[in-house]
Every structure is written in C-alpha cells, then in structure tokens.
Amino acid sequence: LVVRYPSGTIFDRLKGAPGEVTVLDGVSIAVEAGETLGLVGESGSGKTTLGRAIAGLAPLSGGKIALAGDTVTSRRDRAWKTLRRNVGFMFQDPVAALDPRMRLSSAITEPLAVDAGLLHPISGRKRRRRARELLAEVGLTSDFADRFPHQVSGGQARRVTVARALAMRPKLVIADEPTAGLDLSVQGELLNLLNAIQAADDISFLFITHNLAVARHVTHRVAVMYLGRIVETAPTKTLFSDPAHPYTHALLNAHSPGKPATRLKGEAPSLKIRPTGCEFHTRCPIARDICRREAPPARELGASHTVRCHFPRGHEDLHVEREAKAA
C-alpha cells in the first residue's frame, strides 16, 4: 500500500521537499482469519494511517486491499462498500469519535444506517433492537442505549466504540490504541472483552499500539513500523525473545527497565525528506556504508519472521564488542 498526502508550505519546497509526503511507502501486510496482528512503532511511524487505509478511511495512492475475495484499489471500486462492511474501526479517542448530541443507540448503529443509505432506511425500532444486542455483547446494559457520550466513563465509552465497530458483523476489526488512557484494571477488562469477542466470532484484529507490554500479551504476531515501512514481522514470542532489526531491539530495550539500553540517536527523520538507503541509518548504532547507499530488501529469517536490514541481529555483535571493551 502507498499513501501520499499533499505537502505543506512553500518553505518546504524551497528546502527541496517534494510536493507530497509519502506516509506509507510500499507496506505489505496480511492478517489471517482469527488472528491478532500487532502493529507497533513510534508516534508518526504510520500505524494509524495504515489502519485507516485498510479500513477504507484513507485514500490509497497505490496498491490494493484484498478481503474475502474482493480487491479494492480506490473508493470508486464497487467492492469498497463491501470493504467498509467487513472492516470495523475502533478510533483512538472514543469520546471524540462519538457525536456528543447523539444517543449511544444511534451512534452504535450509525454504520448500519450509512450502509443502508437513504433508499432503504432502517426503522428506528430495528436500530434500537440491534443497539441493545451490541451493548449486551460488550457487557453494557440496555439502558446505555438512551445515554449521551458525556454520561459514560472512559472505559464504558471504549466498550461503546467496540459495539459500534461490531455493528456490521465485520471480519476484521482495527483497534487504534484501544487501551490508551485507561487505568490498568479497565485495560485488562477491555482486553478480556476483545479476546472473548475474537474467540466467539473468529474475528481478526489489527491491534495498533505503542504499548509493547499489551502487544506482547494480546497478539499472535507483531509488525514493527518505522517511517511508513514495516521493518520486521515475527510471531510475538520470537519478536520479543529474538528481535532481528536494530530498531525493534531499541524499542524493546526502551520499554524494558533494568536492561542496558541501546540508545536511539536523535529524532525520527521528517517524512518530507527521507534518508537515502536504509531509512533507519541516521539513528542506527551499527550502520555501515552500504546502509547509507542501498535500501535493504526483505529477508526471511525463519517461520513468519521477516526483516528489512542488511545486518539482521548485528546489534548482538555490538554488545559483544562493548562487553569485550568493558572487560
């Protein structure tokens, strides 16, 4: 998938930046039926844009989305409506995602109404019945149907967004930072709920998070994003025990108190002026000349383990060198 957006100011152009920004650069990703695929990376790495593109909420500049036998390349495709039906989206900020003037029953069933359109509107009674069913599925009583968003807690609002994402009985749910801002006990309840929904309906999840502990707990596989590209994909256990990309290694260390940290040099570069060769070379502790010249191809390291690096697991040599110097 490729997603580009028009780029900003005349100053950017004067600095040599192109007239558009490539936010997703040839990302290829597959989610199996009943699987939870985690998508991790720093802010601005393109996680949310990828989720939105798969859900048909961000226009594609290139590539395609294949789902249940249909292929979509743009909103003009007939199959785009099928895609929208089959992919539910849980927005990052549940309160902002819900219209404050809309009762929860209407908010939850809005995807049904939009899908039916003006020609075949759904009756109010049918919408309310479906809203009550969906509320029950997410563990909320039917009296929530008549409430407004400001009358529920953060955890309850998150459950409402789950109900809304399930309204069309989707095959895939994209959960964008579903646990952000929740305290630990509410996080646990929500994760158990998503787990139960997946077990009952065999739904696939694309789980976007910056919280690696949560990703480790709930996912089957994890894809790591850097600057609009996937740099490593692996089964969750493998990724956490044997990361091959220096960026994955640094991310894990940054989230593991007590371990010697691999320092990431500087900030992530601007999407407007991408580094040559491997785009991580400006921050990579083991970058060599070839990294600055040539983009690394994807390499298979094992079952479902793919990495884009000229020197996968090269950070291990770095530690050996450091230990030798220290001795």
Interacting residues toward ligand SF4 by CB under 6 A: 245-246, 278, 280-281, 284, 286-287, 291, 296, 309-311, 314
For residues 164 and 281, which CB has a smaller minimum distance to ligand SF4 in the complex? 281
Helical packing angle, 104-116 and 124-137, nearest 10°: 120
DSSP 249-303: HHHHHHT-TTSPPPPPPSPPPPTTSPPSSSTTTTT-TT--HHHHHSPPPEEEEET
Alpha-carbon gap, residue 80 to 86, rounded angstroms = 10
Least distance to ligand SF4, CB of residue 268, Å: 13
Contacts of 13 (CB under 8 A, 6+ apart): 7, 19
Least distance to ligand SF4, CB of residue 213, Å: 24
For residues 158 and 229, which CB has a smaller minimum distance to ligand SF4 in the complex? 229
For residues 16 and 297, which CB has a smaller minimum distance to ligand SF4 in the complex? 297
Alpha-carbon gap, residue 61 to 106, rounded angstroms = 33
For residues 171 and 245, which CB has a smaller minimum distance to ligand SF4 in the complex? 245
Least distance to ligand SF4, CB of residue 315, Å: 8
Closest by Cα among 189, 141, 192, 201 to 165:
201
Least distance to ligand SF4, CB of residue 262, Å: 11
Contacts of residues 301-304 at CB distance under 8 Å and 24 or more positions apart, as own/partner, are: 301/234, 301/244, 302/238, 303/235, 304/221, 304/233, 304/234, 304/235, 304/238
For residues 170 and 314, which CB has a smaller minimum distance to ligand SF4 in the complex? 314
For residues 128 and 315, which CB has a smaller minimum distance to ligand SF4 in the complex? 315
Least distance to ligand SF4, CB of residue 16, Å: 23
For residues 36 and 248, which CB has a smaller minimum distance to ligand SF4 in the complex? 248
Least distance to ligand SF4, CB of residue 227, Å: 11
Q: Please name the residue that has the structure tokens 């039906």.
A: 85
DSSP alpha helix (H) spans, the chain: 10-14, 47-54, 79-86, 94-97, 104-116, 124-137, 154-166, 184-201, 212-218, 236-241, 246-254, 289-293, 314-326
Least distance to ligand SF4, CB of residue 283, Å: 8
Take residue 27 and report the two structure tokens written for it: 């990302």
For residues 150 and 300, which CB has a smaller minimum distance to ligand SF4 in the complex? 300
Least distance to ligand SF4, CB of residue 274, Å: 13
